[in-house]
């Protein structure tokens, strides 16, 4: 079935990754518990501990079965702690001879519980996430359906079709195992971009195929859930990235545990944008040094809409498969609000760039205005493809009106769904933060 998304926007930026894959191997690996939303970690290793691929580093305090494991064989060099001794990063130094994989011996699982047990004990379970809240699901729960987004529509996003080229069998096996995990009653939905290379996904069995057409956020799993199987209070839907499905497939097919993945290095400040294969957690400092052009550059794990700024110990986050290098802004312009703005990008038509149909813009990280209260209406609706009132929902979150939040459909959205609203907001509202905090308050109650 084809779904057409009309509301949204495709931001155009220079620095799309060329279809070329390079290997990246480093010695330092950094695993951060903050990659897993609202997971309180219980540390299982300490500085000096020897770890192997698959050794649990920390587990969730709420459910100790949910553990995050070491992606490499080596020694824990350091546990970096932040405010109130919270664990920020676990730094591991890999052995130079480490092949980044570990062969395992296990019997072919025949039941759902056996699949779940293998995923949990080998640190593959956190690849699954649950809507609402985008948290790692509890091993005891089962969703009403599972979504796999087979494309990413965010700016400069990697092409999943290219990433999984030649890995059809792994992907098919991954889907088969997830089907085994969830049972017959839970449908799996594969959402693809219509007109793209989808051969590797179409090999999957026992799934529903859906095609999406239109601008970002067509590739966001939230948009897809909203169109195919909307969530009401008390219901849960799980989702997983296509690359992670292939990783689960590889695990069952080859009985080898490996956290290798392909990451696109993109953005206007990238010397040679292309793909890199690396193990999850790889310290990308040498890569960034080699690839960055320009003096003041913001390094982001993820895309420019939802990514996280990289600071010390830069590594790609658990759920990201993209790094973006963007020029920092902050230059002050003389009466900028009055000038015609031939080179300014705006979804509104208040700058002349729109009049001259300018297509390319040099984006940077400037806020481009002062923070104000909600004044303009009708702006979010242009980029928000949900049957939800975005401004009313934001206001309900700000006023902590839980009943109104639930009625308006907060369980269907996540902060990433509000990313474009945040971009176009003339009052410079932090829409994603407001939604995330709103969701957190509901999660805690």
Partner 1 sequence: MSTLSKWSEKIGRSFEKGRPLHCLHSLFDAVDTFLLTPSEVTKEGSHIRDAVDMKRIMITVMIALMPALLFGMWNLGYQHFLSTGVDAGFWGCFWYGFLKWLPLVIVTYISGLSIEVAFAQWRGHQVEEGFFVTGFIIPLIMPPDVPLWIVAVATAFSVVFAKEVFGGTGYNFLNPALVARAFVFFAYPSVISGDSVWIAESADAVSGATPLALVMNGNMAQMPSFLDMFVGTIPGCIGETSKIAILLGAAVLLFTQVASWRIMLSVLVGGFVTGSLFHTAGVCPVNGWQHLLMGGFLFGAVFMATDPVTATHTQSGKFIYGLLIGILAIVIRVINKGYPEGMMLAILLMNIFAPLIDYCVVKVKVKKRKLNISKHRIKL
Shortest reach from residue 181's CB to partner 1, in Å: 20
Shortest reach from residue 74's CB to partner 1, in Å: 31
For residue 41 the two structure tokens come to 């970690």
Cβ nearer to partner 1, comparing 49 with 368: 368
Structure letter (DSSP) for residue 270: B
Shortest reach from residue 179's CB to partner 1, in Å: 17
Residues in CB range of 362: below 8 A, 6 or more apart:
268, 327, 343
Cβ nearer to partner 1, comparing 111 with 309: 309
Cβ nearer to partner 1, comparing 113 with 296: 296
CA angle 208, 209, 210 (to 5 degrees): 120
In this structure, are residues 13 and 363 in contact, taking their beta carbons and an 8 Å threshold? yes
Cβ nearer to partner 1, comparing 197 with 328: 328
Total number of residues shown for the chain: 445
Shortest reach from residue 373's CB to partner 1, in Å: 3
Q: Among 136, 200, 204, 123, which Cα is nearest to 164's?
A: 200
Alpha helices in 122-241 (DSSP H): 160-163, 168-182, 199-202, 221-228
Cβ nearer to partner 1, comparing 140 with 403: 403
Q: What 3-state DSSP class applies to 68? A: strand
Cβ nearer to partner 1, comparing 76 with 297: 297
Q: What 3-state DSSP class applies to 372? A: coil
Cβ nearer to partner 1, comparing 148 with 279: 148
Alpha helices in 168-306 (DSSP H): 168-182, 199-202, 221-228, 242-254, 285-291
Structure letter (DSSP) for residue 154: S
Q: Give the containing element (helix H, strand E) for 404.
A: helix 402-408
Shortest reach from residue 126's CB to partner 1, in Å: 22
Cβ nearer to partner 1, comparing 124 with 431: 431
Shortest reach from residue 416's CB to partner 1, in Å: 10
CA angle 155, 187, 246 (to 5 degrees): 50
Residue 186 burial (C-beta neighbours within 10 Å; 0-12, 13-18, 19+): middle
Shortest reach from residue 110's CB to partner 1, in Å: 28
- C-alpha–C-alpha distance, residues 199 and 201, integer Å: 5
Around 326, how many Cα atoms within 13 Å sit in the side-chain half-sphere? Answer: 27
Cβ nearer to partner 1, comparing 52 with 430: 430
Q: Among 9, 3, 11, 51, which Cα is nearest to 29's?
A: 51
Shortest reach from residue 72's CB to partner 1, in Å: 29
Shortest reach from residue 249's CB to partner 1, in Å: 26
Using CA atoms, how far residue 44 sits from 51, 60, 127, in Å, is: 11, 10, 20
């Amino acid at each position: 079935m084809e779904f057409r998304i009309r509301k949204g926007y495709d931001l155009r930026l220079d620095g799309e990754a060329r279809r070329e894959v390079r290997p990246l191997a480093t010695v330092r690996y950094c695993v951060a518990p903050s990659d897993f939303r609202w997971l309180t970690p219980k540390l299982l290793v300490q500085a000096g501990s020897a770890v192997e691929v698959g050794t649990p580093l920390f587990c969730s305090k709420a459910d100790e079965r949910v553990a995050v494991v070491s992606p490499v064989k080596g020694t824990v060099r350091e546990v970096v702690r932040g405010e109130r001794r919270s664990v920020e990063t676990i730094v591991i130094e890999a052995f130079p001879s480490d092949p980044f994989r570990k062969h395992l011996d296990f019997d072919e699982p025949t039941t759902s519980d056996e699949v779940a047990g293998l995923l949990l004990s080998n640190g593959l379970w956190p690849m699954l996430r649950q809507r609402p809240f985008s948290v790692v699901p509890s091993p005891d729960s089962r969703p009403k359906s599972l979504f796999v987004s087979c494309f990413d529509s965010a700016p400069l996003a990697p092409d999943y079709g290219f990433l999984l080229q030649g890995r059809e069998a792994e992907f098919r096996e991954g889907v088969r195992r997830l089907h085994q995990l969830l049972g017959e009653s839970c449908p799996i939905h594969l959402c693809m971009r219509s007109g793209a290379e989808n051969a590797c996904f179409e090999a999957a069995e026992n799934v529903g195929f859906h095609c999406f057409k239109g601008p970002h956020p067509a590739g966001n799993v939230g948009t897809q859930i909203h169109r195919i199987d909307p969530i009401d209070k008390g219901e849960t839907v799980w989702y997983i990235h296509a690359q992670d499905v292939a990783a689960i497939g590889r695990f069952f097919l080859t009985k080898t545990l490996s956290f290798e993945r392909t990451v696109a290095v993109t953005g206007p400040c990238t010397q040679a944008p292309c793909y890199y294969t690396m193990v999850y957690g790889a310290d990308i400092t040498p890569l960034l040094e080699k690839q960055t052009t320009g003096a003041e550059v913001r390094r982001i794990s993820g895309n420019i809409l939802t990514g996280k700024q990289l600071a010390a110990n830069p590594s790609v986050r658990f759920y990201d498969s993209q790094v973006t290098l963007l020029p920092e802004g902050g230059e002050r312009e003389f009466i900028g609000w009055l000038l015609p703005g031939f080179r300014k990008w705006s979804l509104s038509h208040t700058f002349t760039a729109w009049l001259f149909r300018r297509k390319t813009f040099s984006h940077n990280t400037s806020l481009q205005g002062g923070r104000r209260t909600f004044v303009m209406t009708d702006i979010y609706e242009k980029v928000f493809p949900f049957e939800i009132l975005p401004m009313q929902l934001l206001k309900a979150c700000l006023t902590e009106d839980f009943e109104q939040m639930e009625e308006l459909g907060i369980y269907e959205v996540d902060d990433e769904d509000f990313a474009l609203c945040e971009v176009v907001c003339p009052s410079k509202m932090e829409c994603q933060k407001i939604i995330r905090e709103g969701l957190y308050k509901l999660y805690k109650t």
